[in-house]
Amino acid sequence: MTQPHKCGDLLGSISEYVDGVLQDDLCRELEKHLLECENCRVVVDTLRKTITLYHLSDPDAEVPIEVRERLFKRLDLGEFVRKA
């Protein structure tokens, strides 16, 4: 990396940066650094993509109907189990 000490210092901020909650002064400092440091830009871009992929990858997992039925039975709530 072009400025190793700077890269290491800013690494701790990138999670909050991609969440958009990093405080303004640190945000400006980080963005200035990203213009100069290709490696850090790649890390930030791929970190953001990683989080996006996980957000997209998991629509509500289907719970198998038999799992749901066994659960309600175990809890003695058999009369409330949804059949659909």
Partner 1 sequence: MELISQSDISTPALKSGDRAEFARLVDLATPAIYRLGLKMLGSAQDAEDILQNTFLKALQSLGEFEGRSSPMTWLYRIAVNEALMLIRRRKPQVELTDEPAGESDDIVAPVQLTDWCCLPESEFLTAESKKALDAAIQTLPERLRAVFLLRDIEGLSIQETMEALGLSDTAVKSRLLRARLHLREQLSVYFGERIGKEKK
- Span between the terminal Cα atoms of the chain, in Å: 56
Size of the site for partner 1 (CB under 8 A): 37
Q: Where are the beta strands (DSSP E) in 1-84?
A: none
Question: Toward partner 1, which CB reaches closer, 31 or 53?
Answer: 53
Cα–Cα dist 84/77, whole Å: 16
Residue 34 beta carbon to partner 1: minimum distance, rounded to whole angstroms: 13
Give the footprint of partner 1 on this chain (CB under 8 A). Answer: 7-8, 11-12, 14-16, 39, 42-43, 45-47, 49-51, 53-58, 60-64, 67-68, 70-72, 74-75, 77, 80, 82
